[in-house]
Chain A
Amino acid sequence: MSSVPSSPLAAPAAAAYDPDARLSALAWLRANLFSSVWQSLLTLAVAFVLIRFFWFVLDWGVVNAVFYTTDPDVCRAATGACWAVIAEKHRPMLFGLYPYDEHWRLVLMMAIYLGTVVLSLWPRCWNLRFLVPLWIVSSLSIGVLMFGGVLGLRYVPTSEWGGLPLTMLLFTGTVLIGMPVAVLLALGRRAPLPVARGVSVVFIEALRGVPLITILFVAVNVFPLFLPAGVEVNKLLRITVGIAIFFACYQAEVIRGGLQAIPRGQYEAAASLSLSYWQTTRRIILPQALRISLPAITNHIIAAMKNTSFVIIIGLFDILTATTAVMQDPLWRKFYIEAYLFVAAVYLFFGYALSLYARQVEKWIASGRI
């Protein structure tokens, strides 16, 4: 994840010479598509392939597609896509093993979750006196909705949680647990104490050298052995912490890059004001370091969202596991492409939303708003 997220598109060739030139449509075509014989041939070739492709997509995905039916034979008879599989199976795909009659609780939970997240990302609401109560209230209500067992709601153990809500919870848990750990690890790696440096370096490098899967195996199979007899930690929590620590090791390296970019004078100025290490870190260094490394931080946060899909290996029913399980149904199995396209669209949507927001934050930073 070393590249810039959704980097701005490379400027067209003509603009590189004269960014202010306002080209007429014809001149633009000449400069960007038909500047030479070879370029024209290339354009025609690419256009041919694209038109064939879009023709196929239109033909398969719209013209000959079946949008709604409850009878798989109707789909079988059609030559196009069977979007009906999503209508038919959207509930097990989106909500996994969660009891069918209680799905309304998950819908409500997602509404509360998305509302909380959107409010927290809005600079107008960046006020601890608002955000802390907001998160307490929404976490409590999400907890009540997911677990149940009170207010006449049926109790649902975490082993039955699944689908998109589970993906959201895993992702949020990863970021909320991982970011503070990442900051601590990054500070540890740059600390004036050699022992702290050593511990952080070994921890970061060891975990970055192994695949996420092995860390999930540790969380599921080895971690229970670390605890004294009789003590148990919920499997979902163990897995979330495992993903979070893996995430933290990558994020720590990004934040370290930001820390290294802070000029020495900042530390010296803080020292001359006789600020303590923690005062310097909290008020002078971290705000600047986090701003500098923001693009790379968002990259890893988006990667963390994609990485939640690794839980399929240890049998948690996130949206991907649920879809894979649903696609075992012999009646609908043939239409796996449509189902996976739907899941891909969900990931693309959230990833795109995150990167748009990150770009907005970079603009706010550049304009000095935050």
Chain B
Amino acid sequence: MTDANPGLRGKRPRRSPKDILYSESFRTAVYQIALAAAVALLGFYLYQNVVENLARQNIATGFGFLEQVSQFEIGETLIAYSARDTYGRALAVGLMNTLSVSAAGIVVATVIGFSVGIARVSSNWLLQRLATAYVEIVRNIPVILQVIFWAAVIRNLPAPRQAVELWGLGFLSNRGLTFAMPSAHAAHLWMLAALGAGIALAILASHKAKRHREATGRYIDMLWPCVGLIVGLPLLVWLGFGAPHEISFPERRGFNFAGGATISPEFVALMTGISLYSSGFIAEIVRAGIQATPRGQVEAARSIALRPRFILRYVVLPQALRVIVPPLTSQYVSLIKNSSIAVVIGYPDLVNIGNTVMNQTGQAVEAIAVMMLVYLIVSLATSLLMNLYNRLVAIKER
């Protein structure tokens, strides 16, 4: 630029103060400094007020309270916890509960959402209308109302003695959902490890097969080998442990159940409410994704005699997932955030326990900061994971 018109540069007039005042770069700089100063001043002013107010009300500051003994019990814990443990551990219990209810909710919402989304584009008029009605209803009723409703339904279920029996496999009562479970056995952990190994090997093998196809042009069908790896390995481990097949069935005993596993009423209500609410949104996302593949492409694929499985795998899914994954991510994140309404029905999630901690210690600022920070981290981590997945399915441009 400077070489292109040296004349202009040479003849540049001397700038008077007025010119500087009216120059764009100067003004931009002034505005920005003013804005930054205003934000800093506001922050400082608020900080000062908080410090003064806390000092006046004799409230401790800092995160020392996390080390103090909590002195309250929690109904549902995934890690060992008692009232003698610290506030920090209580919050960790809450976080585990938040994560477990969100994970279950995401699975249920995804299954229902995908089914309803596919039904939304069904060529069957009746099914399609039914799916539309479902979506419009679950999406437009506030999620809190849905959760409160399910909590009330479960609270009004019969007591264990008159519990609703579910095909001999479990019971639904005001104590929650009780169902049959294989009795605990050392084999289970190894089977889980075998499942992980199977999935990893399957991914590796299909990758190799793809390389082979790209190098030689010869296609190796990896569907059954992969199924074999993922299902077969845990099965082998199970057989290796002598096939432990003892299943613990729940039985009515006294005022409660014995045996089986039980999910608390609060967990069932919260999970049902937030996952049904999200399933409506996921269904719409899936519908949009399916409609993103032009009809002609499927017809073209059929006309070159591609097998239906391959049409789905290589024509429809790659294009649909590209449209589905980004909004699905934000649905998952919003489901995790919606799990915080647990406090309304008394499920001990992070916000519920954070609220108790806040009331006991009086340290509102720190307690709320912990909650917000944890949710920020969880939200960002979910987005990150889904973005990685999105990179796998996004358009690969040359």
Contact = CB atoms under 8 A, between A and B. Distances in A.
B368 A218 contact: yes
Contacts of A263: none
Contact of B35 (A192, A195, A312): A195
Interface string B334-362: 10011011011000000100010010000
Contacts of A192: 28
Nearest to B355: A217
A210 B124 contact: no
Contact of A222 (B132, B295, B368): B368
Contacts of A57: none
Interface stretch (A143-151, A282-290, A345-353): A345-353
Given A211-B337, A340-B149, A10 B287 contact: yes
A1 interface: yes
Contacts of A224: 53
Contacts of A12: 123, 125, 128
Contacts of A309: 142, 144-145
A175 B96 CA distance: 35
A2 B330 contact: yes
Interface in B2-58: 28, 31-32, 35-36, 39, 46, 49-50, 52-54, 56
A3 B285 contact: yes
A123 interface: no
Interface stretch (B180-188, B190-198, B215-223, B370-378): B370-378
Interface string A288-330: 0000000000000010001101101100000010001001000
Contacts of B53: 224-225, 227, 229
Nearest to A306: B142
A343 interface: yes
Contacts of A39: 123-124
Given A228-B49, A344-B145, A3 B284 contact: yes
Contact of B351 (A213, A228, A302, A324): A213
Contacts of B343: 213, 313
B292 interface: no
A213 B152 CA distance: 21
A21 interface: no
Contacts of A199: 35, 39
A234 interface: no
B185 to A, nearest CB: 39
A221 to B, nearest CB: 4
A32 B123 contact: yes
B338 A312 contact: no
Interface in A1-38: 1-4, 6-7, 9-10, 12-13, 16, 32-33, 35
A2 B285 contact: yes
A211 B375 CA distance: 7
Interface in B114-165: 120-121, 123-130, 132, 136-137, 140-145, 148-149, 152-153, 156
Nearest to B373: A210
B331 interface: yes
A192 B124 CA distance: 52
Contact of B124 (A3, A32, A351): A32
B49 A217 contact: no
Contacts of A9: 128-129, 132
Contacts of A13: 123
Contacts of B126: 33, 43, 46-47, 50
A176 interface: no
B128 A334 contact: no
A43 B127 CA distance: 7
B364 A217 contact: yes
B86 interface: no
B311 to A, nearest CB: 18
B35 A10 contact: no
Q: Which of B32, B125, B287 has the most CB of A within 10 A?
A: B125
Interface in A211-265: 211-214, 217-218, 221-222, 224-229
A209 B351 contact: no
Contact of A210 (B52, B285, B337, B338): B337
A225 B365 contact: yes
Contacts of A206: 372, 376
Nearest to B365: A222
B288 interface: yes
A284 B156 CA distance: 58
A290 to B, nearest CB: 22
A334 B371 CA distance: 36
A310 to B, nearest CB: 6
Given A10-B128, A46-B127, A351-B140, A320 B341 contact: no
24 contacts: A12-B125, A46-B126, A47-B126, A193-B28, A194-B32, A196-B32, A199-B35, A209-B376, A210-B337, A211-B340, A212-B337, A213-B340, A213-B341, A217-B368, A225-B364, A225-B365, A226-B46, A228-B52, A302-B140, A306-B140, A309-B145, A310-B144, A312-B344, A337-B153
Given A221-B358, A336-B149, 17 more contacts: A1-B334, A2-B326, A2-B330, A10-B291, A33-B124, A33-B125, A46-B124, A209-B379, A212-B337, A225-B49, A225-B364, A226-B49, A312-B344, A313-B341, A320-B144, A337-B153, A343-B145
Interface of B: 28, 31-32, 35-36, 39, 46, 49-50, 52-54, 56, 120-121, 123-130, 132, 136-137, 140-145, 148-149, 152-153, 156, 281, 284-285, 287-288, 291, 295, 326-327, 330-331, 334, 337-338, 340-341, 343-344, 351, 355, 358, 364-365, 368, 371-372, 375-376, 379-380
